Amino acid sequence: MIHFVLLISRQGKVRLTKWYSPYSQKERTKVIRELSGLILTRGPKLCNFVEWRGYKVVYKRYASLYFCMCIDEDDNELEVLEIIHHFVEILDRYFGSVCELDLIFNFHKAYYILDELLIAGEPQESSKKTVARLIAAQDALVEAAKEQASSLSTIIAQATK
Amino acid sequence: MGSQGGFGQSKEFLDLIKSIGEARSKAEEDRIVLHEIETLKRRITEPDIPKRKMKEYIIRLVYVEMLGHDASFGYIHAVKMTHDDNIHLKRTGYLAVTLFLNEDHDLIILIVNTIQKDLKSDNYLVVCAALNVVCKLINEETIPAVLPQVVELLGHQKEAVRKKAVMALHRFYQRAPSSVNHLISNFRKKLCDNDPGVMGATLCPLYDLITIDVNAYKDLVASFASILKQVAERRLPKSYDYHQMPAPFIQIKLLKILALLGSGDKKASEQMYTIIGDIMRKCDSTSNIGNAVLYECICCISSIHPNPKLLESAADAIAKFLKSDSHNLKYLGIDALGRLIKLSPEIAEQHQLAVIDCLEDPDDTLKRKTFELLYKMTKSSNVEVIVDRMIDYMININDSHYKTEIASRCVELAEQFAPSNQWFIQTMNRVFEHAGDLVNPKVAHNLMRLIAEGFGEEDDTADSQLRSSAVESYLRIVVEPKLPSTFLQVICWVLGEYGTADGKYSASYITGKLCDVAEAYSTDDTVKAYAISALMKIYSFEIAAGRKVDVLPECQSFIEELLASHSTDLQQRAYELQAILGLDANVATNIMPMDASCEDIEIDRSLSFLNSYVQQSIEKGAQPYIPEGERSGMTDVSSFRSQELHEVSSHALRFEAYELPKPVMPSRVSPIEQSSSNELVPAPEPSYHAEMHQVASSVPSVSDTGSLELKLKLDGVQRKWGRPTYSSAAPSTSNADIPKIQNGAPQLDAVSSSSSKAVSYDSRRQQVEISAEKQKLAASLFGGTSKSHKRQSSGSQKVPKTNIPAAEKSHVAKNATSDTAVLERTPQPPPDLLDLDESTVSSSAQSLDPFKQLEGLLDLNQDTSTLTTSDASASGAPDVMSLYGETTLNVQSGGVPNLLPAGRDEANLLSGLAGTPNRDGHGENTVTNPTQQLNKGPNAKESLEKDALVRQLGVTPTGQNPNLFRDLLG
């Protein structure tokens, strides 16, 4: 099971966090501090895994952003590494050559995508296409809702004039 | 594109993100966030906030919380937003609550109603959103509220809904198995869902269920195997392919399930052999995901009933992993080796040099994994080398979690395989010295017992030798500063028990040392208690031997200090010591018999020795004792009170049963003392001595306090330390330190034979890495099994024997093998450059070409962007140029297999010697460059467009982190 997902920039800034196991706000801060100390200092050719408090943290660096996932000891590290890559590929497809800035300004969208990929710490969908289709459908719905809302509000505005 | 919608936030929010992005320290960031929290607190409570505005506030709250600050003041607004009818807002609300609330939060109850409503929605996207929340927030109490609807949704026409419903049900099962026990059959049904996504999701709960109860699912073995077969044969839709592998994530999950089902079940395992073999053959070992599946196959093979053919192919796969240049694969190789070694121990031997390389690797993760492997393959023949290495490593790490683990492993191995007691004690001393506070106190007791019992055989001289050596080593160690408390306890106990036993050290010398310890660690009551007990033993031994006891002045002051101690335990011990000092030899021998710590203590539970006294009292008119159970008409409390009253008034015995000694109370008051104090009627000081006598004489075998304590604590502790394993070791020991005759020649031969062994398994790698030290290590780790290679050893002995310095030797070897190396290397796919780091020599060298080619491209764009201040330094300061350069390389390897580039040193070596491989690498790059350029075009443009957009919005996140624009993925 995946216990949490962290996106940290090379400078140690938090870009996204998702906690599937309960951690208090204080613990979260501690975890992030500990892990960024551990991961950001690792050299480039080393394993993409670190053992940490009886768990394993799988991380991968994309440009200046580190994607980290914390898993149980008996999980398949390489698979999780590919789940990360899968996530990045989906982000890439959605944002169109995704860069860190996209995630900074659209972190909530990244959350929506992550929610389609993982649920309660388990991978729920492994088809890129299915995820992309669902996200697109949601976006379309939201757009429709927005339009409707704005048209409604104009109607109301006109009516109350 | 999707990203354009993303910049719809207000200027204020963008500025916030920007200022946080530019914050130079955590403190500055915190300040900004705290200010933001103030603003939000004020704004969010204003009346009549437009919904659009409110949505943004909520997102800002999420942001604040993500950065580690408390946004709980706004939770209720997020909850309110979930009630909104507009899906746009509702979704934001749902997202926020899943991020804010934990499953036991009070506000959840306010959302349940909305969730119920949304689960019934006509719009499947609304249902999906609600199910996401269900998975995160529904707790044991609220499960019944949504359960019927979730079950109904298992049959929803949209597969996305069915999938999430399965996951939700799985979540319920994890939270409260009893609530969904009657619904488990649904998971079986959903396995046959015609949507592969739903089927894949169903594997998660099934895996959990099978972990709990394998037997209930044996009937599904055939189904799982056939699903796996279909997946491997690409029967699933193309969209489930990932890097040319058919649905690898589903394959992995299925392999995990099969591993569980086939474990220890021959019949079930037989149904899987064919398909696992097929998958292993089909796996693309050049891609990460292919290797992930391969690794899972190995795990499965090592778990199910063994099959020789599969084991063989697993061994081959492991060999490939270990020979790989990627640390990730080496790591998996080591892990897999650890799994397989239980089934076929001989496999480790082939890979000895690879294992030693990993052990000496600078990568900590790999090192630890290798220690884990060594731990699994420890035998009595190699225990010394392995434990030695482990301790060396343990000393140098700070991570207390891992330190504890490795310390306890050292102890375990030492207990199991120790070749000699002496070695055991030395090893334990080292472990205690460096990690004493982290090991289990049991270990200390085990050590004490070992010293007390020796080998457990009749050889007394060996035992006393052992003790003397222990005493000697402790006297040496004890002067060192800052020893861990547990270790000091052991030292004190051993010194007290055996310090004067062999007559080498005088009582005053030992007692002096003990007082030093007590003084140096005066804050540690436990150590002081051990010290004073030790003093007591030494003095009573002296008295028993008929020698005159003269208490050193420092001992005297120590005793006096304890007489006035706040700790009753220490006080009691001090008084007892004082009492013993006044006794004659005969009594002292009875109280503190020499070397009796291993003798059993008989406890007369019926207190028969008191019978006459009781009889007397009854005759004098005292009430006979009525057991508590038989007493009637009294509540417990009153009986207790009356008893107490009785006790106080008559100073008679307490009639309640003795307290049982507490099972684990590491080194507090020793139970015998507690019970003796219970036995004793609280009496005025003078009579104390007399009663001591009484007790001592009536319970003759009350020996010393430590021994009983030891006995009690070791109850039920498995006795691992012993002879059988050791004796089996004898024939195969080939320890590098001891010149061992093997094949008629001493040590050197052992070394060379191991080298030849390695030659036989892989000439290329072997020869590159010949180094006498490693071979020595290999010989001592894997030495026991060198027989099979003896034939060859005579032939290749020359290589290491000729006294060429190691470097030169490897040079020669490399020259000789570089040609084959090149041949072997060429078919490898282009290296993955996703894991870039500007600082490495090899990557910068390789990225040189693309840089230059890109310059032109970027120059074209210069007018549109201020960012392209081109300075193509390969050294890799984070400037834009290099960013583009590197991202371009990403393009090249986008979906291409992820083999990491060759290890730096190897690449260098090869380039120095042969030159060809490197040129070859460059050739590859130049060939692919044109396509890179083509691919890159739109990407670069897009990035620049993004920049322009951000600028329009008034945000200029240039500053210190231009990396922000870098594509994460080519």
Mean pLDDT across B535-539 = 86
Among A13-27, A97-111, B514-528, B648-662, which is the least confidently predicted range? B648-662
pLDDT at B600: 67
Of B347 and B290, the one with more pLDDT: B290
- The closest alpha carbon to B514, from B433, B421, B577, B425, belongs to B577
Confidence tier at B293 by pLDDT (50, 70, 90): very high
The answer, yes or no, to whether residue B386 has pLDDT greater than 80, is yes
Cβ proximity of B834 and B890 under 8 Å: yes
Flag whether residue B841 sits within 8 Å of chain A, measured between CB atoms: no
Flag whether residue B968 sits within 8 Å of chain A, measured between CB atoms: yes
The shortest C-alpha distance from A24 to chain B (Å) reads 9
**What is the crossing angle of helices B288-303 and A77-95, to 10°?**
150
Q: Do B167 and A119 touch (CB under 8 A)?
A: yes
**Residues of A with CB below 8 A from B258's CB?**
none
Instruction: Look at residue A21 and tell me if it is in a domain.
Output: yes
Confidence tier at B147 by pLDDT (50, 70, 90): very high
Confidence tier at B627 by pLDDT (50, 70, 90): confident
Q: B931 burial class (0-12, 13-18, 19+ CB within 10 angstroms)? A: exposed
Range(s) of the domain holding residue A41: 2-126
Q: Do B296 and A89 touch (CB under 8 A)?
A: no
Question: To 5 degrees, how large is the angle CA B329–CA B334–CA B336?
Answer: 90
**Residues of A with CB below 8 A from B898's CB?**
85
Nearest chain A alpha carbon to B5: A106
Residue B504: what are its φ and ψ, rounded to 5°?
A: -75, -35
Q: What secondary structure, in 3-state letters, does B750-804 show?
A: HHHHHHHHHHHHCHHHHHHCCCHHHHHHHHHHHHHHHHHHHHHHHHHCHHHHCCC
pLDDT digits 0-9 by tens, B744-794: 444 444 444 444 444 444 444 444 445 677 777 777 777 644 444 444 433
The answer, yes or no, to whether residue A104 has pLDDT greater than 70, is yes
The shortest C-alpha distance from A62 to chain B (Å) reads 5
pLDDT at A57: 94
**Residues of B with CB below 8 A from A104's CB?**
17, 21, 964
Mean pLDDT across A62-83 = 92
pLDDT at B763: 45
Of B405 and A71, the one with more pLDDT: A71
SS3 B480: coil
Mean pLDDT across B12-34 = 86
Residue at token pair 């799994």: B339
Question: What single-letter DSSP state applies at residue B71?
Answer: -
Q: Do B103 and A22 touch (CB under 8 A)?
A: yes
**Residues of B with CB below 8 A from A138's CB?**
91, 125
Cβ proximity of B91 and B59 under 8 Å: no
Residue at token pair 């780091």: B837
> Total structural domains in chain A?
1
Of B690 and B219, the one with more pLDDT: B219
Within 10 Å of residue B657's Cβ, how many Cβ atoms?
11
The answer, yes or no, to whether residue A87 has pLDDT greater than 90, is yes
Q: Do A13 and B903 touch (CB under 8 A)?
A: no
Q: Do B331 and A120 touch (CB under 8 A)?
A: no
pTM: 0.67
Q: Residues in chain B, how many?
A: 970
Closest Cβ opposite residue B964 in set A94, A99, A111: A99
pLDDT digits 0-9 by tens, B272-288: 999 999 998 888 888 88
The answer, yes or no, to whether residue B722 has pLDDT greater than 50, is no
Q: Do B363 and A102 touch (CB under 8 A)?
A: no
- Give the integer Cα–Cα distance in Å for B881 and B862: 11
Q: Cβ neighbours of residue A136 under 8 Å, at least 6 residues apart?
A: none
B 174-193 near A (Cβ less than 8 A): 174
Among B188-197, B200-209, B945-954, which is the least confidently predicted range? B945-954
**Residues of A with CB below 8 A from B85's CB?**
none
Cβ proximity of B939 and B871 under 8 Å: no
pLDDT at B951: 61
Q: B650 burial class (0-12, 13-18, 19+ CB within 10 angstroms)? A: exposed
Instruction: Look at residue A148 and tell me if it is in a domain.
Output: no
Q: Do B292 and A98 touch (CB under 8 A)?
A: no
The answer, yes or no, to whether residue B314 has pLDDT greater than 80, is yes
Among B24-33, B356-365, B547-556, B726-735, which is the least confidently predicted range? B726-735
Confidence tier at B686 by pLDDT (50, 70, 90): very low
How many CB contacts within 8 angstroms connect chain A with chain B? 262
Q: What is the mean pLDDT of chain B?
A: 72
Percent of residues, chain B, with pLDDT higher than 70:
64
Q: What CATH number is attached to the domain comprising A109? A: 3.30.450.60
pLDDT digits 0-9 by tens, B64-74: 999 888 888 98
Q: What secondary structure, in 3-state letters, does B398-444 show?
A: CCHHHHHHHHHHHHHHHHHHCCCHHHHHHHHHHHHHHHCCCCCHHHH
pLDDT at B792: 41
Instruction: Look at residue A158 and tell me if it is in a domain.
Output: no
pLDDT at B580: 83
**Residues of A with CB below 8 A from B366's CB?**
46-47
- Give the integer Cα–Cα distance in Å for B80 and B89: 10
- Give the integer Cα–Cα distance in Å for B104 and B814: 63
Instruction: Look at residue A102 and tell me if it is in a domain.
Output: yes
* Segments making up each domain of chain B, as ranges: 378-431, 441-591
pLDDT digits 0-9 by tens, B387-434: 888 888 888 888 788 888 888 888 888 888 877 777 888 888 888 888
Nearest chain A alpha carbon to B201: A124
Q: Do B242 and A126 touch (CB under 8 A)?
A: yes
The answer, yes or no, to whether residue B952 has pLDDT greater than 80, is no
- Give the integer Cα–Cα distance in Å for B941 and B938: 5
Question: What single-letter DSSP state applies at residue B545?
Answer: T
Instruction: Look at residue A143 and tell me if it is in a domain.
Output: no
Closest Cβ opposite residue B967 in set A85, A98, A105: A98
Mutate one of A80, A90, A126, A134 to test the B interface: name it (highest B CB count within 10 A).
Answer: A126
Q: Per mean pLDDT, which of B30-44, B465-479, B531-545 is the most reliable? A: B30-44
The answer, yes or no, to whether residue B642 has pLDDT greater than 70, is no
- Give the integer Cα–Cα distance in Å for B100 and B61: 9
Within 10 Å of residue B727's Cβ, how many Cβ atoms?
10
The answer, yes or no, to whether residue B872 has pLDDT greater than 50, is no
**Residues of B with CB below 8 A from A96's CB?**
1-3, 942
pLDDT at B22: 81
